[in-house]
Chain A
């Protein structure tokens, strides 16, 4: 399948998901065309709406890159969420420990610390995968919750701001705040950082020997081994750099948007990164587009609910459908006939002669 036909399939899948969403909106008693019009004009063509979209886009894009890179090496990083939390924690620790540095040195240092935090958190599953052959999916998933509770402990205990009504830390110094890109809104430069990272990742994978090695491991681990690639090392690199991207997302949330470390500050961005990655068909250059689209969906949900009266939860339904349809659309060939669901249904209806009797006891 060529890259182009792949992308056409993805577009078709998105349209199909929106069509099914339209059915639900109609059932809810609203006009789907009107609802979608409000949704998309609000999130993409309205100054304030666009700023909300861009704010949501930054962590989603970086979390998407945190999935794309390891997956190009054949590893599934479900741990973006935890890496975001550790990145936010490390970045906030630096910002709160050294509050008096000038911004031009402080902000990069915060990002470095955040990348270290996210990278370290990803290094554990990477090591376990590469050297102990333990499934990275389970480990990254478990570590998400550990990270969330560590941050929750930190902001409720040692980092708790004075007389805070809710678990959060003190504010970071004002010179550490990320510059705002759209005047009078929250739209900070986080999305630009994400886009730069996406472009760098694209050229790294495409045009450098080390990127090629990594891609090779993902495409065929055996062949890579024969070609003399140290596959364990590539696994470590892919996962750790992926974790660094997610760590950056955490720092961006802290110094770009909230200016404090909050309890539960990331609202599932790590998991949405998986959707971003698949929608972008694992191409880093398409990731900004896919993150922009998904961020627009969630940013516009509230407005749509207020303006048209459609339940905002319909957006989650549409997101779920988008993933299901896109994922099904990019599989080269679905199986059918004897192996598919048809065989199962026939078995249930008893029309197919079973090869082996189901003797339960």
Chain B
């Protein structure tokens, strides 16, 4: 792994780390809002796919990536609300609902992509976003290309992460949302509208997770492929834990996972002394270790995964 000492190669690795980490980061950020409000979003994987299909379809039909972005977000909101209706209204176990939504959306996006793109399915190229170079900042050695020469969605991600952190931890309504996830009964008694907060959080969660799919389509490969999320929604669940249920933390964890991914891709081709699977395992082991608590205290919101019923004690 001597190549990490070479500034140009290191800059290369960092740039691809960020690029590989962006979809995970969006999904993880979406998951943070859902879990902070008390709902597990295991359906992130499916929501990435929903966003990807929406983005591809929107951009394919109109030729405008902005329409694609909007369509992707709408698909995400709907898949989020579907989880919300199942988990909050019907009180289906949140994990079962999430897994069912993954199954449903994997199938549905594959099915619909055939209907939308017809025979071109898998090969229909769509208009996407270019990269934005931030003037002289992108010239900075090593970190310049990684941080200041990315597509617009990267800057949106940073804004959402910082804005989300500010909302959750520095505003009244953010405090209310966290209260709903920690102790819904107390929040209810205090007059916080528990159910609207949970629905809002899950819809926002779906929209942001879908942005991960939008990024895959409009900034990475410019087409929709069946199952293109390839487990990113699951690794995002690990990023949430390592990021300690904080928007900024989750995004940073996702970039770390992106780095691991970049490393394993490099190692696969260079026939090294370190097996590349080691880098595939690191994200999960790191999250487990964080959870078990060898480094500081990591705790999930107290009421996450539990349904809230006003009529029960």
Q: Are chains A and B native binding partners rather than an unrelated pairing?
A: yes
Residue positions of A touching B, CB distance < 8 A: 24, 27-28, 76, 78, 128, 132, 134-135, 137-139, 141-143, 145-146, 149-150, 152-153, 156-157, 271, 274-275, 278, 311, 313-321, 323-324, 327-328, 331, 334-336, 339-341, 343-344, 347, 354-356, 358-361
Cβ contact within 8 Å between B241 and A324: no
The residues of A that contact B176 with a CB separation of less than 8 Å are 356
18 example contacts (A-B, Cβ-Cβ < 8 A) are as follows A142-B238, A143-B288, A145-B234, A146-B284, A311-B111, A313-B106, A313-B108, A317-B104, A320-B101, A320-B102, A324-B97, A324-B100, A324-B101, A335-B89, A343-B193, A344-B200, A347-B193, A356-B193
Bound-state CA distance A328–B307 (Å) is 13
Please give, as numbers and ranges, the residues of chain A lying within 8 Å of B99 by CB-CB distance.
Answer: 271, 274-275, 323
The one of A150, A328, A347 in contact with B86, judged by C-beta atoms closer than 8 angstroms, is A328
Looking at the assembled complex, report how far the CB atom of B166 sits from the nearest CB atom of chain A, in whole angstroms: 9
Q: For window 40-89 of chain B, which residues contact chain A by CB distance below 8 Å? A: 40, 42, 81, 84-86, 88-89
Task: Give A278 to B226 CA distance when docked, in angstroms.
Answer: 27
B280–A149 touching, CB < 8 Å: yes
With the chains together, A146 CA to B277 CA distance in Å? 9
Most buried by B among A156, A344, A354: A344
CB A282 to nearest CB in B, in angstroms, measures 11
A359 x B92 contact (CB < 8 A): no
A28–B284 touching, CB < 8 Å: no
Please measure, in the bound complex, the distance between the C-alpha atom of A316 and the C-alpha atom of B235, giving whole angstroms.
Answer: 22
- Smallest beta-carbon distance A226→chain B, Å: 17
Assess the B292–A132 pair: CB atoms within 8 A: yes
Closest chain B residue to A271, Cβ basis? B99
Q: Does B11 contact A (CB under 8 A)?
A: no
Proximity string of chain B (95-133) to chain A, C-beta cutoff 8 Å, 1 when within and 0 when not = 111011111111110110011000000000000000000
Which chain A residues lie closer than 8 Å to B105 at the CB level?
Answer: 320
Q: Tell me if B183 counts as interface (CB < 8 A to partner A).
A: no
Q: Find out whether the CB atom of B171 lies under 8 angstroms from the CB atom of A361.
A: yes
Residues of chain B within 8 A (CB-CB) of A138 are 237, 241, 291, 300
For the complex, give the distance between the alpha carbons of A145 and B282 in Å: 10
Asked if B296 is at the interface of the complex by the 8 Å CB criterion, the answer is no
B281 adjacent to A146 (CB under 8 Å): yes
Identify which of residues 284-311 in chain B touch chain A, using a CB-to-CB cut-off of 8 Å: 284-285, 287-288, 291-293, 300, 305, 309-310
In the complex, which residues of chain B have a beta carbon less than 8 angstroms from the beta carbon of A135? 300, 305
State whether A323 and B100 are in contact (beta carbons under 8 Å apart), knowing that A141-B237, A313-B226 are contacts in the complex: yes
